[in-house]
Amino acid sequence: MLLQSKLREWREEQARREGIESYKILSKATLDALVEARPESKEEILLIKGIKEKKYQKYGKAILAIIESVKESSVEKVDSELEEQYEETSHNPLTVSQFLDSLNMELSGMAARITGEVTSVDVRERVVYFTLKDMFDGSMLPCLIFRFAYQISGVEIQIGDQIVVEGAPEIYKPNGRLSLKVGLIELAGEGMLKKAYDELYRKLQEEGLMSEESKTDLPKYPERIALVTSAQGAAIDDFKMNLGNFGLKIDFYPTAVEGKKAVFEILKALKYFRAQADRYDVLVMVRGGGSLESLQAFNNEALVKEVASFPIPTLLGVGHEKDITLAALVADKMVSTPTATAKELTTQWTEGRQAIKNLSLKLPRIFEQILYQKKQFLNTGTSVLLEVLRLIQRKNLRIEQAFFVQIRRFEEEINRKKKENSLRREVLKSGFIEVFNRAKRSILVYEEQLKIYDPRRVLQLGYGLVKKGTALIKDASKIVPGDILSVQLGKGGFEALVKKINK
């Protein structure tokens, strides 16, 4: 294939420049995946296994440029080159590798959609090998599909399955074996599709992806909508026609919606919206009804789980009531048609607009009614207030009268207490004078008695007081010769030395 050849040449040249092995630039599996998927944007190329952000920053633009250049090459140009190559090789023989490259380039234009019975399956780390047999004459066709494409197809093929594949023939150069390189696998027939549908349905139920607990309520008034559907067909027209004029902002990502091939495009759309989910209120997917075969993209496990895990609420209007897809069952809200989807988004807006319209008609009447009620309330309140004020006035008058009565009582009581105090003061005064005179007379009597018993009076009669120290001497036995005694007379005194004691 031309693209594969160009990518390999670029890989070898890049490895030579960097001085590293070519597989460190792109592994064979990654290169084959690029050839198979033919990505056209950063988002698409990052879906390829083996290419992360860092590798994209380094090689992404070059890879996209190579893919674009191959895409722009016309068939005539390729044919011309082949003719020139043939003319050259008529004189210079081709190597086996060159011949097989040329042959594969021709075979790449023979892509086909093929049905057959699976007779063998060999699942490996990166590639799934299987064989298809013609149900009529037993012809056999070896096939291969890369694991990432196999997983997105959502079909686990088994021996005996009747399937439909899409791919192009290619000769594997190391052994010269012709195989059909498959990009998509579908189950053939409604029976097989129904069986696969039922098996995945049970699996999703066991994982709880259909339970009400796993769902999120749609916003009441959504404004920013991420829309995924086909740009052609009645679905988008029905959706837009019934959306109404509410100023909703819709970002539309067009995709195929028919068959398994649509899975890849829808997954790209979901990846695009997931990367900027905070810009939207709800994700919407719509398409019309159809057979189980035409709707199988929405029964694909990878797509279903992407819908179930989407970071914003999801609303699916896919098919009709009898065509319930698994993607719709795991969505946060499921409706039957694109028309119903639009109405689901605008129901609250419609009801709100009608409520405002009804309110605008009722508002004057409501205002008049409220005004009348308030006026009645004020009139009633005024009457009540006046009556309350009169009651307060009468009560205040009674309180004032009672206050003055109490004041007069206090004055009379104070005057009475004053008179009582005056009388008591006179009584106390006369009583005090009498007590004072009586005490005075008693003092005079006691004074006369004290004079009679005053020892100094005796001393004045010629007697004296003899003391030894401070002790009064009444007995001569209390002293001894040599003692010094003090003698107090009526006037003055003296000290004496004891020379002799008379007993």
pLDDT at 86 over 70: no
pLDDT at 282 over 90: yes
pLDDT tens per residue across span 157-179: 889 888 889 899 999 998 899 99
Q: What is the pTM of this model?
A: 0.46
pLDDT tens per residue across span 412-452: 889 888 888 888 888 888 888 888 888 888 898 888 888 77
Q: What percent of the chain has pLDDT over 90?
A: 20
Closest CA to 183 of 205, 167, 200, 159: 167
In this prediction, residues 350-366 reach a mean pLDDT of 81
The pLDDT value given to residue 259 = 67
pLDDT at 36 over 70: yes
pLDDT band at 121 (very low <50, low <70, confident <90, very high): very high
CA 165 to chain centre: 45
Strand duo 162-172 + 112-123: pairing: antiparallel
pLDDT band at 74 (very low <50, low <70, confident <90, very high): very low
pLDDT at 85 over 70: no
pLDDT band at 312 (very low <50, low <70, confident <90, very high): very high
pLDDT band at 19 (very low <50, low <70, confident <90, very high): low
The pLDDT value given to residue 2 = 78
Residue entry with tokens 């004057």: 364
CATH code for 2-73? Answer: 1.10.150.80
pLDDT at 491 over 90: no
The mean pLDDT value of the chain amounts to: 85
Architecture field, domain 111-188: Beta Barrel (2.40)
CB atoms within 10 A of CB 59: 17
Report the alpha-carbon distance of residue 385 to residue 380 in Å, rounded.
8
pLDDT at 75 over 50: no
CATH code for 214-347? Answer: 3.40.50.1700
In this prediction, residues 305-309 reach a mean pLDDT of 93
In this prediction, residues 289-302 reach a mean pLDDT of 81
Report the alpha-carbon distance of residue 405 to residue 257 in Å, rounded.
102
Lowest mean pLDDT among 170-174, 457-461, 478-482, 485-489: 457-461
Q: Which tokens in the block code for residue 407?
A: 């004041």
pLDDT band at 118 (very low <50, low <70, confident <90, very high): very high
Residue entry with tokens 């004072």: 436
Amino acid (one-letter) located at 355: A
The pLDDT value given to residue 309 = 93
Strand duo 140-146 + 484-488: pairing: unpaired
Lowest mean pLDDT among 61-65, 66-70, 84-88, 280-284: 84-88
Asked if the domains 111-188 and 214-347 are classified in one and the same CATH topology, the answer is no
Report the alpha-carbon distance of residue 264 to residue 306 in Å, rounded.
12
pLDDT band at 305 (very low <50, low <70, confident <90, very high): very high
Residue entry with tokens 């105090």: 421
pLDDT at 184 over 90: no
pLDDT tens per residue across span 367-397: 888 888 888 888 888 888 888 888 998 898 8
Structural contact between residues 248 and 223, judged by C-beta atoms closer than 8 angstroms: yes
Lowest mean pLDDT among 184-198, 215-229, 285-299: 184-198
Query: Which residues does residue 146 pair with via DSSP β-bridges, in sequence order?
Result: 127
Instruction: Give all strands of the β-sheet with 224-229 in edge-to-edge order.
Output: 249-254, 224-229, 282-287, 314-318, 333-335
The domain ranges of the chain are 2-73, 111-188, 214-347, 458-497
Query: Which residues does residue 224 pair with via DSSP β-bridges, in sequence order?
Result: 249
Pick 191 or 153 by higher pLDDT.
Answer: 153
Query: Which residues does residue 184 pair with via DSSP β-bridges, in sequence order?
Result: 166
Per-position DSSP letters for 382-447, written without gaps between them = HHHHHHHHHHHHHHHHHHHHHHHHHHHHHHHHHHHHHHHHHHHHHHHHHHHHHHHHHHHHHHHHHH
Classify the C-alpha dihedral 367-373-377-379 as positive or negative: positive
The pLDDT value given to residue 142 = 95
pLDDT tens per residue across span 225-275: 999 998 877 788 888 888 878 888 999 999 988 866 788 899 999 999 999
The set of residues, in sequence order, having a beta carbon less than 8 Å from that of 96 and lying 6+ positions away, is 173
